[in-house]
Homo-oligomer: A and B are copies of this chain.
Amino acid sequence: MDFRGAHILTVNQFQRDDVELVFQVADTMEPYAHRLRVTKALDGAILGNIFFEPSTRTRVSFGCAFNLLGGQVRETTGMESSSITKGESLYDTARVISGYSDVIVMRHPAPGSVAEFARASRVPVINGGDGANEHPSQALLDLYTIKKELQANGLTIDGMRIAMVGDLKHGRTVHSLSQLLKMYQKIHLRLISPQELRMPANIVSDLKAAGHEVTETDDMEAGLQENDTVYLTRIQEERFDSKLKADIYRGRFRLNQAIYTRHCQPNTVIMHPLPRDSRAEANELDADLDQHPNLAIFRQADNGVLIRMALFALILDISDKIKDSTKELGWYTGGRFGT
């Protein structure tokens, strides 16, 4: 695809080459995200960070990525209290708001709403999550993290073994990640979930059709064996009919230091899209692993900034120009980034 001026709405719009271009550009963003150098490539540009529902980390991650490229951010949260309640259509909102910025990130609870907004927008729109539907930058940062973590272990996405654990029925992130994995080769997937929260059948058959080996189980201990990566998820309580129904499954699939040591291979990378539920009744990923070198969950969040910088750079076609507008960073950082 041609990223220049494009909307980023779904992982299905990418070919493998596109994904790898995003990763390649993301790699070049490290010096800026890790506060080694400063770039002003987007000096004067404006991001419209339009959130129709709260999502602090996604909002701040996109905003930070744009600032790191030198741009300004105008944003809004909870637009539901605004013109929408006066009967304004998404078409009108898009036409007006797209006059206020050079690129838009939009999050909205209704599936399909961001694509509808994008059709009316005069500037590129990135989907920052439309309900249970899509959140493409999350899928990209997940796969980018897998690639970097495995690379350190001498492995590649092609041929890797990955377990996905938890609420695979409702988890948007594992659905989108699976879409991306279809473009790669010979992956061994273990899908570990309660029977009732299994990965949707069409995703499983698509993965198999792509030549991957997929096994499904509700036996956590068996499923954890012989993986390069374990990707844990939270019970998506907000997608259940009632909290009670969610409670049935909460806490049934947990990873902690003891289980990891007993069942996982030594170098297994631990991932989680965050937020993780650390309340005693859930605790799907125990804090006793917080200092573990293979716990990649915070590197995952950091990689989100790199991926979002890469998307902005490709859409606004500045990836080649960043070096020309670079300068030394003038303040004390303590070298704590990227750690």
Does A122 sit at the interface, judged by CB under 8 A?
A: yes
Contact with B along A39-75 (1 / 0, CB 8 A): 1111111101000001111011101100110101110
Q: Quick check: A96 and B55 within 8 Å, CB to CB?
A: no
Shortest A138–chain B CB gap in Å is 13
Q: Give the CA-CA distance A287 to B5 in the complex, in Å.
A: 26
Q: A87-B275, A123-B336, A301-B95 are in contact. Are A45 and B102 (CB under 8 A)?
A: no
Question: Range of interface residues on chain A?
Answer: 35 or more
Interface 9-mer from A127-135, A160-168, A276-284: A276-284
Name the interface residues of A64-94: CB closer than 8 Å to any CB of B: 64, 67-68, 70, 72-74, 76, 79, 81-83, 86-89, 91-92
**Counting CB contacts under 8 A, is A337 at the interface?**
yes
A242 CB-CB contact with B under 8 Å: no
Q: What chain B residues lie within 8 Å of A333 (beta carbons)?
A: 5, 102, 123
Name the B residues within 8 Å of A48 (CB-CB). 60
Q: Give the chain B neighbours of A60 by CB distance below 8 A.
A: 48, 74, 76, 97, 100
B79 touches A56 (CB 8 A): yes
Q: How far is the CA of A97 from the CA of B61 in the complex (A)?
A: 8
**Chain B CB within 10 Å, residue with most, of A44, A74, A315, A329:** A44
Interface check A334, CB cutoff 8 A: yes
B282:A87 contact, CB within 8 angstroms? yes
A339 interface hit (Cβ, 8 Å)? yes
Going nearest first, the 8 A-B pairs with the smallest beta carbon separation are A38-B44, A87-B277, A317-B332, A88-B275, A83-B275, A316-B331, A87-B279, A5-B334
Q: List 18 A-B contacts (CB under 8 A).
A: A4-B332, A5-B334, A40-B44, A44-B330, A57-B96, A63-B74, A64-B100, A87-B276, A87-B278, A88-B275, A88-B277, A91-B290, A92-B274, A96-B298, A102-B333, A122-B336, A122-B339, A123-B336
Chain A residues at the B interface, C-beta cutoff of 8 Å: 4-5, 35, 38-46, 48, 54-57, 59-61, 63-64, 67-68, 70, 72-74, 76, 79, 81-83, 86-89, 91-92, 95-97, 99-102, 122-123, 234, 237, 274-279, 282, 287, 290, 298, 301-302, 305, 315-318, 321, 325, 327, 329-334, 336-337, 339
